[in-house]
Structure formats: structure tokens, C-alpha cells
Amino acid sequence: MFTKKFTRRVFLKTALAGALTLGGGTTAFAKTLLADRGSLSLYNTHTKERLSVIYRNQDSTYDVDALQAINRILRCHYTNQQTVMDVNTIEYLNLVDKRLGGGNEIHIISGYRSPAYNTLLLSQNQHVARHSLHLAGKAIDMSIPGIELRTVRNTAAALQLGGVGYYPGEGFVHIDSGNVRTW
């Protein structure tokens, strides 16, 4: 069991180090990572589950059990499958929350999306991408009650950390750890 946790921890730390290295280590994202702990309060709108968790300590070490709990709440609600969510996506969500005052309960509309569910949505013409970043655990559709959706979108887009989609008709903002772009 120690080996399994050690391996995941090494993987997550290596992924974070790589992200910081690629980003030059001086971005707002990196400064936030080094200066504060990572915490999220999540509510999955499909499963009705809630999670409040500290997943990163002030010394920038990740709590593997907390990350696994995040993976669980962000699982595909259709198939119940889960994946290892990209830590950059989790950090992006955390930073959006902090820029909006922190401690907000973030409503999750979609996190990980299984291939079966993505195929179903495609067959129903639900305007989903065939190669969606949700399939790779790199995207989250969310809203924050009490904060205008436009404000959430503008905050996420201003960070320039990945993709930001604005879906006011459906009531959510999409964020992902892919290329910086907006739609």
C-alpha cells in the first residue's frame, strides 16, 4: 500500500513541477500554489454529493486521499466511472474560486465524462466535442450560486490558464487545462 501511495504522490508532484517549469514558475498560478493551501467545496448537481476538502498543504504537498475524493465527486454520473483528474484543472478551479472570494460552494455540472456517456450525448446532438477534454479528466463545467455566470467566466478567462466556455443558456461555465482560448 505504501508503494501505491508513494507512486501516486511522486506522479502528482512531478506533474505539478512540470507545470510550474513550463509556466516559468513565476506565473500567478505558480505564486498561488506556493503561497496558499488548496481547498475546494464541491456539490455535484447530478449525484447530490458534497465535498469540502483541503487537497494541497501550504508547503505545496498534495494529499492523495483528498485528490481521490475529488476524483470520486467529479466522476461520470452516467456510468459511475472515475478517472484521475488533471491536477492543473483542479488548481484552475481553486484559483477561480479564490479570485471570487474563496470558500464558495462550486456546483459541478460535469467533470469526467466516460466515452460511453460522451457517445450518448453526441448521438443526442448535445453539442459536445467528439474528443472532449472531459474524456481526459481535464475539464469541468461549473457554476457558483450567488455569483453571476458572466463574472465566473470573466474571472476564469482573465487567468489565462486554459479554455473557458460560456453557456449562459445551460447555466454553466466550462474550464479546462487545455490551450488558452474562449468561446
The pTM for the full model equals 0.81
Does the pLDDT at position 119 exceed 80? yes
**Does residue 27 carry a pLDDT above 90?**
no
Residues 77 and 116: their CA atoms lie apart, in Å, by: 11
pLDDT tens by residue, 150-167: 999 999 999 999 999 999
Average pLDDT of the residues in 158-182: 97
Residue 177 has pLDDT above 60, yes or no: yes
3-state secondary structure of 137: coil
Q: Tell me which H or E stretch contains 150.
A: helix 149-159
pLDDT digits (tens, 9 = 90+) for 36-82: 899 999 999 999 999 999 999 988 899 999 999 999 999 999 999 99
Q: How confident is the model at residue 120 (pLDDT cuts 50, 70, 90)?
A: very high
Q: Which CATH class is domain 2-182?
A: alpha beta
Q: Which amino acid is at 168?
A: P
pLDDT band, very low/low/confident/very high, at 100 (cuts 50, 70, 90) = very high
pLDDT given for residue 5 in this prediction: 43
Element (H, E) at 155: helix 149-159
Strands 105-110 and 38-44: parallel
| pLDDT(14) > 80 | no
- Count Cβ atoms below 10 Å from residue 93 Cβ, excluding itself: 24
How many angstroms separate the CA atoms of 117 and 7, rounded?
30
Residues β-bridged to residue 71: none
The pLDDT value given to residue 15? 54
Of the candidates 73, 72, 104, 111, the one whose C-alpha atom is nearest the C-alpha of residue 89 is 111
Which stretches within 24-63 are classed as H helix?
A: 28-35
And the C-alpha cell for 57?
Answer: 498543504
Give the per-residue pLDDT at 10.
Answer: 47
Tell me 27's DSSP state.
S
